[in-house]
Amino acid sequence: MSHLGFEDDDTAGGELRALMLAVDVPASGADLHRAITAGRRARRRSALTGATAGVAVLAAVGTFVAFGPMRAGPSRVEGPPASAAPVPSPSGGASASAGPLPALSSRPLTDAKGAVVTCRSTALALPAGAVDGFTTSIDPTGRLVGGHAGNGSRTPVIWRDGRPEVVPGVTGQVQDVASDGTAVGFSGDEDAKGWLVRGGKVTVLALPPGYRTATPAAVNASGVAVGLVGTGQGAFDGVPARWSADGTVHLLTIPAGIGRPELGSDAQDIADDGTVVGTANGVAMRWSPDGTPHPLAVAVSGNSNSRAQSIAGRYAFGVENGAAVRWDLQTGQAVVLRQSGAFSSRGGTPGGRAIVSSDGSVPSVLVAEGGAAVALEGPNRETGSLTGMSLDGRIIAGNLTSGATNQAVTWTCGA
C-alpha cells in the first residue's frame, strides 16, 4: 500500500521502521510519502514550520483553479472558482450513518456456488539488476500492476501479466496504472515531481504558483489523475489536486471549517466518471465530478480521523481511527470491515468485497459483503500489505517483507 519516498531502496525497511517512531504514519500511499519526509525533518528540527496553517487557510478559500502543465508555458485559469460554502463535519451531523462494529467472521469465503475461495500468492519477477520490488497499485482488469524495483535507486515498473516492464522516460515509482497502460507517478522525495506517461508520451504534472511538490495517487481511464500538491514547508501541507490528461492542475475544494488541518488533505482515487475520494483535514471526502465536496459518514465514534482511499461502483473504501471502513456512497452508510489489527482498506469491488491490510499482527484479508474472509499470506504464512484489487475481485496486488527486502506479489483468488 505504501508509496515509499526513498532514494536507496536497500535501506528502505530499516529507515521506515526508524521514521515510524518519529511521526504518526498514516494509512495511505501518498501520505506515507509525506510521513517519511516528516520523519526526516523531525530528525533535523524539533518542530515543523507554520506553513501548514497557511496552506490550510488557502485551501479553505475553496479555490478550484487550474494551472497549465509546466511544458505548456504560462499558467492559465480554467473556469470559475468553486463554491467555498462551509460544509459541516459529519462527526456530529444527523447525516452521519454509522454501521455496526462487526468482528471478523470465522466463516470461510465462498463463491456463488458455495465453493470455498482460496487465494494463492505469486512472486512478481524483477527487472534485470533489481534486488527487490514494491507494488503500489493494480488496474481494474488485474493484468497490470504498478510499482517500482530497486537496487540503490528506484525504477518505475509496470508488471504486465506478471512480467516486469520498466516505464521509459521517467524515474521514481509508478503510483497507479490504468487498463490502457497509462501510468502516473513521481520522481524524487522531498521535492517530488509528478508525471503521467500515456502512449509513450511523458507529461510533467503542473504545479500551482507557490507549490513545489506533486504526488499523484491515481489515474482513471480518461487519463485524469488525482493526488496532492505541497509547498514543501510542512509534513502535511498538501492540498488535494486533480490533473487533466494534458497535465493541467485543478485544486479541489476543502470545505471551510471542516476537520483539523494538522491531519492533512489529499485525493486518493478517481472513478471513470470523475468522482474523487480522499480526505479533507482528516475527514473522509467524496468530490463530485464538478468538484463539489461531500463529507462521508463517521463509522467509529470519537475523535475521527478518516480517509477514503479507493472507489469502486457505489462503494468507497478506506480507514477511520485505525479501522478499515466501507462507505456506501448511495445510502451514506459507513460499515467497519475490520477493527482489531487492521491498517486500511485500499480497494474493493462494485459488489462490496474489500481487501483489508493488517498492521502485521494478523494476516491481511479479503472480506466478503457479509464478513466472511480469506487470509492473504505468503507461501510461508508471511503477513504482507495489500495495494489494490481488480474489479472482479480475483487478482490482488501487495507486498511481502522479509528483513530489509521487499517482495512484490499478487494473489489469485478463486474456488
Segment 34-78, tens digit of pLDDT: 443 444 333 333 322 233 333 233 233 233 334 443 332 222 223
Q: Is 3 inside a domain boundary?
A: no
- Name the residue among 343, 279, 273 with its Cα closest to residue 309: 279
Integer-rounded Cα radius of gyration of the chain: 20
Between CA 9 and CA 13 the distance in angstroms is: 8
- Name the residue among 358, 370, 411 with its Cα closest to residue 106: 370
Between CA 29 and CA 399 the distance in angstroms is: 13
Residues 6+ apart with CB under 8 A from 267: 217, 218, 226, 227, 228, 240, 241, 242, 252, 276, 277, 278, 287
Between CA 244 and CA 219 the distance in angstroms is: 10
Q: Is 88 inside a domain boundary?
A: no
Q: Is 292 inside a domain boundary?
A: yes
Averages of pLDDT over runs of 10 residues in the chain (415 residues) are: 32 33 36 41 32 30 36 28 38 38 59 83 95 96 97 93 97 98 91 94 96 96 97 80 97 96 95 98 97 93 85 96 93 87 86 90 87 89 92 96 84 89
Q: Is 357 inside a domain boundary?
A: yes
- Name the residue among 390, 312, 326 with its Cα closest to residue 97: 326
Q: Is 79 inside a domain boundary?
A: no
Quick check: helix, strand or coil at residue 230?
strand
- Name the residue among 281, 333, 330, 322 with its Cα closest to residue 89: 281
Q: Is 84 inside a domain boundary?
A: no
DSSP 247-301: S-EEEPP--TT-S-GGG--EEEEE-TTS-EEEEETTEEEEE-TT--EEEPPP-S-
Domains contained in the chain, number = 1
CATH code of 52's domain:
2.130.10.10
| Amino acid letter for position 174 | V
Q: Is 237 inside a domain boundary?
A: yes
187: left (phi over 0), alpha (psi -120 to 50) or beta: beta
Residue with cell 494534458: 246
Structural domain that includes position 231: 9-74+97-414
Q: Is 124 inside a domain boundary?
A: yes
